[in-house]
Structure formats: structure tokens, C-alpha cells
Structure 1
Amino acid sequence: MLKLNVKDEISRLRSVVLGTAQSCGPVPSPEEAYDPKSLEHILAGTYPKESDMVVEMEAFAKVFYKYGVKVYRPEVIENCNQIFSRDIAFVIEDKLIIANILPDREQEVNAILHVLEEVDKQNIIRPPEKVHVEGGDVMPWNDHIFIGTYTAADYPSHITARTNKAAVEFISELFPEKTIKPFELRKSKNAKENALHLDCCFQPLGKGKAILHKNGFLVEEEYGWLVDFFGKENIFEISAEEMYHMFSNVFSISPDVVVSEKNFTRLNNWLREKGFTVEEIPYAEIAKQEGLLRCSTLPLVRD
């Protein structure tokens, strides 16, 4: 049996589900785009090619193998985008919560049934239908759980609003001993302003550091709370352009090893200055779909 254990974003990773870019289907029509950045690339004719994305994901897998991480992959569903495994489920402590995602993505959950079969059934939780939640909005951080949300009345009209108030309440009930900290995110049809998930504008790192983008947060006090929590001197503040390129969506294998995109020069230099080992890989094609390294992983066990 797989003993799930995820208490934070940085402890030594032992096993993970890494998405797959194989058979991800034709270029979507503009109507099928899930987010403004994908739409931008569909319209510009620069939507990523499957072959390029497969190469990028294999580079990520190689880093995991280098560090002795057990890597699970979804079963390949023909013509289905299965890159972003973080969207479909997430682990907090010893519980795996199946995300209530956009209805036409349900088959992606079926593609990881071989992983779910290794988990004690009591620890697999399917929230009620009214709970909308995706893993990109949920960050366990020791005795806190950070949750990106959007609670305005126009929630149903935003395809980019993925985690609702009911989700915050549900997770609070599931983990009564944790401090739940919700953050209202900025939703926009403009890809340079849209924070699709919390991990698109915030990421805690080892050594007490964090990556933040102020404009991703709708409420300045909530952004300020994070600045106070980590300490201004420990924060790498990214620009709107850097958020657009997904600078905050890196992935920690351990407190001092971070996987990052090779073009993130300013960030990668800062990380090295702060004593991190930075594993650089190409991921710029996948980034065109408004998701990056954290989005394509579902950590199962961290020490």
C-alpha cells in the first residue's frame, strides 16, 4: 500500500504522479480553450506541438529519477490533454482529495486509477458536487493550508475561477486542526493579469523563501499577510510579465533542490545566490497552456 504523506511543498519527495503529453490531441478550437493564455496561442498559431511537450516532460522525469523519486504516469487516453495532474487531485497529510474539475476532464481521474488502487480507500475523498476545487489552488504548509479562491457573485461566468467558497469550507472541515488561509485571486480574460491558480502567483520554497506576485491577489491585505508571514527580505517578487511566463510555478524536490524553467534567468540566479540547487529544464512550450512544473505534478509522498 502507498502511505500518503504531504505536509508541505518542500519536504523530500519520494513519489509523485507526473502528467503525460502523449496523445494530447489536436490543437483545441478557440471555444475549447480552458484559459486565456491557451486561447492566445491557439489564435496566434503558436499552440505547442505534442512532440515538443513530450520532450519537456521527459526532461522533468529525468530529474526525478536522478533524485530517486518513484514516478507514476497516467494511462494514456487517446486525444486527451493529461499534462496537468495537479488539477485532478491533491494530497494533504494522508488524504488524497479528488478535485471536482471541469466536467469533461473526469476521464483524467480514471487514468490514474492504477495509482489510487494502491491507496487505502478510506483516505480517498471525493468532495460533494457543490465543492469546486483544483490542486493548483491548494497548498499545505505545515499547520497552515493556503487556498486560492474566488468568491465574487460573477464566479460562474469565469472559466478561470476554479476553487469556490464551498471548497474552503470543505477543506476547513476536513482538517479542523489546521489554520485555513484563503486568498482571493484576480480573474481576467487577459492572460497577463489572470491568476488561474494560487501557484500562478505564489510559491513557498525551502530556507524560509517564497515567490510572490502582488497583482495576482485581489485583496492587498491578503498579499500583505503573506509578505509578513515569510518576511519581505525572503520574497522574490515577480513582475506581471514573469507571472505570465509562470515564474512562480517551480517545483521543490527537497528544501534545497528546486526544478525551474531554464529561461527563468533572474529567478534561477536568485535561487542559487540563496543556496538552492537549481535543476533547469526546458518547459516553455507547456507554459503556453498557463501551467508549468507544479501544475504537472501530483506529489504523493514527502518525508
Structure 2
Amino acid sequence: MNLRINSEFGTLRAVLMHRPGKEIDRLTPYNKEFLLFEDVPYLEALQKEHDTFSNLIKETTGATVYQLRELLIRVLYDQQILVQLMRESLKRAGLSHLAGDILERYSTAECATILTAGLKIHELKKKLPSMNAGELMDSAFAIAPCPNLYFQRDPMALTPGGIIFSSMKMEGRQREANLLRTIFENHPEFKDHVNTLYPINGHDTPPSIEGGDVIILSNEAVAIGNSERTDEKAIYHAAKALLGEGTVKRVYEVHLPKKRQFMHLDTVFTVLDENLVLAYPDAMNAVLQTSLYTLKDAQGDRVNIKREVLKESLLTVLEREIPHLEVLSTGNGNQEYAMREQWFDGANVFAVGPRRVISYNRNIHTNRALRNMGVEVLEIPSSELSRGLGGPRCMTMPLSRARV
């Protein structure tokens, strides 16, 4: 598998997803904000909706749907990797020294669950009755859960030049990125095809960047959102790697307002075809500045790039990169509908082929507008999936698409 993609809409061949599990049941009204959630979903219903989503992808595209848990278990059979991940996960609670004891008492599959769903002190004490947890209460987490893990778009991004492994802004999500990078750098199906663009070798604490801020505009251009989750320095390093690699000629830094509804660039717009974009109109009007990175010169490993502040709207940039551009507004152009459906990620549809998308069924006005434009809309239930405030694109990481 090449692990490079050159568009957002080429027919889907393979995708990575994560079926929500026990980590969701760790959420309570009292810890949800700490765990970066705004609601407490009902797990069984959430799983049914997610199963409907993944089955729809397989049935309508024939694409391979990789499940993160299965890939993780395969990698964890390497004892050295398992020990390393367990120690790192226990570090925050000051319990790294217990990694060996845990590995002796839990199976590989159980360890995979612990690494995604977390582990509480009282659960650990059942296996280690004599353990000393210090000042940690029985209800405390020895390892915190990763309830955002079903949003697979955030921990990494595939580009025409290779993979950007995310450095997550929120400490509570960094383990997600670590898990994804460990899988892809060690799984026999992927490890020989990884070209890492970010983070740069030697950067122990790289600036933050998240996959939802990376969008392929054309064969020659990539846009990266400067958002509340992605820093300017990270964009610079990612742009330098992309331009030095030679597969794209332009990288745009899109300055987003630091607001919840504009968390990532893919909550603002998505590319559905060679000349069609779905966008949240308020965001398009709010983005008034972009910066352009281009290659200055390259000699071997030495790459120099230049940055130009364009002071142009996002719409102007898109019109320049996408000939004969058509922009479809969420909510079918109605401001109230657009605001309502943006809360449930109306612009964050998942393109499984040219003018063929998967969308939440609750975004009825946006879906109607898409169909009026000749887009095939495949709907999925969304009562529980949408509680995490992420859409179908957020939940999927395309690993292979047909080239366009």
C-alpha cells in the first residue's frame, strides 16, 4: 500500500476507522470536559451507528475497512513495543514501574483495551492486591481513556508526499497519535511504505498539528489550517517537508478564528470533486488571511522555503487552485439552518468518490442541497455519533484512493 493520496475525493480503496469501545463508557458528566467531550454518549447505540457507517463504506465502495484495534493487537505481539507503550501510558500517574507486572497479568488483547480505554486504580488492585498507589484514589485513572479515538482523522494525515503524524494540542489526546504512529511504523502491512514528513527527526516536543487541519486542494497544493489545534511553526515544518519532497508546489496556511466551531479546517470546508466544495458560509467569510509557502531552493537535504502573506480570503485561494469552482453552502444557504447543521458538522462530509459522500442524516438541508447539485448522498444515523462533535470525515482516515 502506497500510503500517499493525491485528492480528497478519489474513489476510496482503503480506510482506517476505530469502533468505539469501553473508552466511551469511561465518560461521566463530571469528567467529560477533562476528557475533551461535551456530552456523554450511549455506547451501545454509538456502536450500532458506527457499524452502520463502516458497513455502508464496504457495501457501497468495496473498500477495505481497517479497524484500529485489530491493527494494534497485531503490533503488540512485539513485546518490546508493548512494554514501551505501557510504560509511556503509565508515566503520567507515576506508575511506569508497574508495566512489567501488568504485562504478566493481562493478555495482549486486554492490553490493547487498556491502551485505548484506560485503567483505573481499583481495577489494577484486583490484579495487584499489594500494589502501592501512593496518594492516588481507587477511582483515579492509572491510564486515562481515549474517548476521542473514534475520530481517526486527527492523529495523522496522508498527503501526496507521505504521512504527517500529529502532535496533538491537548495532552489527553497525544497518546492517540503515539498509537497510530507505532502501528504504521511497525505493522508488517504498512511499515515499508511509511514516508514520515512530520515530526522532524530530533524534535522531542514538536509544535502541535492535527490531521483535521490538512486538506488536499489539487495535484499541486495542500492547505493546512492555523487553528486552535495547529500551530504556525508546525505548518512551517510540514510545508518544508512537503515542498522538499517535491510532490506539491504550494502549501497554504489558512488562518482560522480561534473558535470552537472552527476547530479544524475540515469543519470549514471539504472538497467533493474537481470543481465542487462544501463550505460553512460564516467561516468562509471569517477567513480573511492566508499565507503561501513555496520552494526557494533545495540542495540535497538542505531545503529553503519562502512564506508570503497573501491577505486573501479562503474563497480567493480556492478559486485560484480549483478551476471553475462551485461552492455549496451548508444549510442550503439558510443562515439559521447553516448554524444549526454546522453544530453537527454539516460541512464535514466524507467523500468516498467524486460527488459521492457520506453525511449525517440529521443535516437534512445540507443533504438536500448536495443532491440538488447532483451529489450522491449516503446517509448514516447520527443521534449518538454526533455527540462527540465530529462528522463522517472526522471519523475516517483514508489510506488509499484511486488517483485523479
What TM-score does the superposition give when structure 1 sets the normalisation length?
0.83
Determine the C-alpha separation between the residues in 2 that align with 1:225 and 1:288: 33
- Contact kept, 8 Å, 1:131 with 1:170, in 2: the verdict is no
What residue ranges of structure 1 are gaps of 5+ in the alignment? 42-46, 151-160
Q: Single out whichever of 243-252 and 272-281 deviates more from structure 2.
A: 272-281
| 2:207 pairs with one of 131, 134, 140 | 131
Which secondary structure state, in structure 1, belongs to the residue aligned with residue 390 of structure 2?
coil
| Percentage of identical aligned residues | 24
Which structure has the greater CA radius of gyration?
Answer: 2
1:179 and 1:231 map into 2 onto residues whose CA distance is: 16
Instruction: Give the alignment partner of residue 106 of structure 1, picking from 174, 179, 183.
Output: 174
Q: 2:49 aligns with which of 29, 48, 56?
A: 56
Q: Contact between 2:329 and 2:366, CA under 8 Å: does it hold in 1? A: no
Aligned to 2:357: 258
Helix, strand or coil for the counterpart of 1:259? strand
Aligned length: 279
Partners of 2:354 and 2:21 in 1: CA distance: 31
Q: Which moved more, 1:219-228 or 1:53-62?
A: 219-228
TM-score when scaled to structure 2? 0.64
1:235–1:6 CA distance, 2 compared to 1 (3 A)? same
Distance 1:300 1:209, change over 3 A: same
Higher helix share: 2
Match of 1:156 in 2: none
**1:138 positional shift:** 0.4
Corresponding residue for residue 150 of structure 2: 83
1:206 maps to 2:206: no
Q: Match for residue 154 of structure 1?
A: none
Separation in structure 2 between the aligned mates of residue 95 and residue 60 of structure 1, nearest angstrom: 27
Is the CA contact 1:87–1:295 (under 8 Å) kept in the aligned structure 2? yes
Report if the CA contact (8 A) 1:74-1:111 is conserved: no
Describe the shift of the 1:240–1:232 C-alpha distance in structure 2 as closer, same or farther (beyond 3 A).
farther
Cα offset for 1:301? 0.9
Q: Which amino acid aligns with 1:223?
A: L
What secondary structure, in the 3-state scheme, does the structure 1 residue paired with 2:27 have? Answer: coil
Shift of 1:19: 2.2
Q: Report which structure shows greater RCO (CA 8 Å, sep ≥6).
A: 1
Distance 1:131 1:84 in 2: 21
Q: CA RMSD in A?
A: 2.3
- Structure 2 residue ranges without an equivalent (≥5): 70-112, 118-144, 289-311, 331-337
What code does the residue aligned with 2:68 have?
P
Q: In the alignment, residue 241 of structure 1 is paired with which amino acid?
A: R
Check the 8 A contact 1:23/1:80 in 2, yes or no: no
CA distance, structure 2, for counterparts of residue 30 and residue 4 of structure 1: 34
Match of 1:15 in 2: 14
Query: How far apart, in 1, do the equivalents of 2:33 and 2:325 lie?
Result: 43
Residue in structure 2 matched with residue 68 of structure 1 by the alignment: 62
Asked if 1:27 is matched to 2:27, the reply is yes
| Mapped partners of 1:250, 1:289: distance in 2 | 15
Cα distance in 1 for partners of 2:391, 2:263 equals 12
Shift of 1:131: 2.4
**Among 329, 341, 359, the residue aligned to 1:237:** 329
